[in-house]
Amino acid sequence: MVDILHALPAVTALRQAHSRWIIDWVVEPHWSALLTSRTSSGTRDERTQPVVDRIHLAPTKQWRKAPLSRQTLSEIVGLRRSLKAANYDVVIDLQGALRSAVVGSLAGCRRLVGESVPREKAATLFFSDPVVTFGTHVIEQDLELASAIAGDLLTYVPPGLPVDAEAEAWADRIMPMGGHPAVLLNPGAGWGAKRWPVERYGAVAKGLMARGFRILVNTGPGEEGLAAAITREAGGQADAVTTLNCNLAHLIAATRRVSLAIAGDTGPLHLACALGRPVVGIYGPTDPGRNGPFGTEFKVLRNPESVRDHRRHVEPEAGLLTIEPEDVLRAADALLYPETAHEPESEIAL
């Protein structure tokens, strides 16, 4: 999810600079809602499919579970056939992983463009055109890659995300016009070291409710208990806390309507950024200079002693635990009430 959201500004800029080009995307089925919404039309609609012309589905996570099964081999052959049939002029790997480079190579295209120093070094074995990038943030690096194939110097533009009519109607029902403004909390994380304690999210929720905000808690599969814990810590006011255990299209629609999002280095945080919503990022072992909020108003909280570490530790990183609910509330106030709030001491500027 995060990789797609980081790549979208570059591809959106490419679309705007060269509107007549055909731009297709290979994506895991689970994340296709970031690129297109449900529609009965067979043509690209700028609201439901604002960036790409066609989507190729590559369920690589399923393939890894049964790499030699008949279904896996059949799907790989089918993907290769459809990619080669498109006769692309260039393929660009914006993920920089061995998996994405291998999938890109299935197109049989003469040009496969990627970073000279990608996330996974082995990916360079597949690149015909390695590009030296100078940006610090992943979004800046992706813009440099897209510029290399566009022949133009592309600059940041807000990413194009689809509008799903059914999801928008659902969001209107749970967040009616004239209701209390809402703040989105996302207490989960990809691994334990990035996960700020749920009890502290509960304290933040309680403080925001006292300020008149409604709380939306986004949870993924198996995280429902986190929302219950936040409600409990916030004083048990279930009517003021709404759990969003929803699909991706619904999450996009709900996030469009919030006044603020608060989360760690997770997909929903970067989704809020992509939608131009103010965010408070609570960071520990990941580097906000490279993977932090971008393209919107934000505050990042991170202990200066936290060290970049992508090992999947179970327990929260030590520096993450030095961030208190009061720090997060001050950062939230600075974004919600910019004319009156004080800057939090643990803020870093990006």
pLDDT of residue 24: 97
Q: What is the rounded distance in angstroms from the CA atom of residue 350 to the CA atom of residue 289? A: 6
pLDDT of residue 239: 73
The residues spanned by each domain of the chain are 2-150, 165-348
Q: Is the dihedral of CA 291, 294, 299, 304 positive or negative?
A: positive
Q: What is the rounded distance in angstroms from the CA atom of residue 249 to the CA atom of residue 49? A: 13
Neighbours of 192 (CB within 10 A): 12
pLDDT of residue 46: 84
pTM recorded for the entire structure = 0.92
Q: What is the rounded distance in angstroms from the CA atom of residue 69 to the CA atom of residue 147? A: 39
Q: What is the rounded distance in angstroms from the CA atom of residue 128 to the CA atom of residue 174? A: 49
What would be the CATH architecture of the domain defined by 2-150? Answer: 3-Layer(aba) Sandwich (3.40)
pLDDT of residue 40: 57
pLDDT of residue 233: 87
What would be the CATH architecture of the domain defined by 165-348? Answer: 3-Layer(aba) Sandwich (3.40)
Q: What is the rounded distance in angstroms from the CA atom of residue 16 to the CA atom of residue 36? A: 17
Same fold, 2-150 and 165-348: yes
Q: What is the rounded distance in angstroms from the CA atom of residue 146 to the CA atom of residue 91? A: 10
pLDDT of residue 346: 41
Q: Which residues of 239-260 are buried (b: 16+ CB within 10 A; e: fewer)?
A: ebbbbbebebbbbbbbbbbbbb
pLDDT of residue 224: 81
pLDDT of residue 49: 92
Q: What is the rounded distance in angstroms from the CA atom of residue 225 to the CA atom of residue 221? A: 10
| 3-state secondary structure (DSSP) of residue 262 | strand
Q: Pick out the chain residues at pLDDT < 50.
A: 344-350
List residues bridging with 246 in a β-sheet: none
Are the C-beta atoms of 186 and 227 separated by less than 8 Å?
Answer: no
Q: C-alpha angle 22/56/161, rounded to 5°?
A: 70
Q: What is the pLDDT of residues 161-217, one digit of tens each?
A: 999 999 999 999 998 877 789 999 999 998 889 999 999 999 999 999 999 999 999
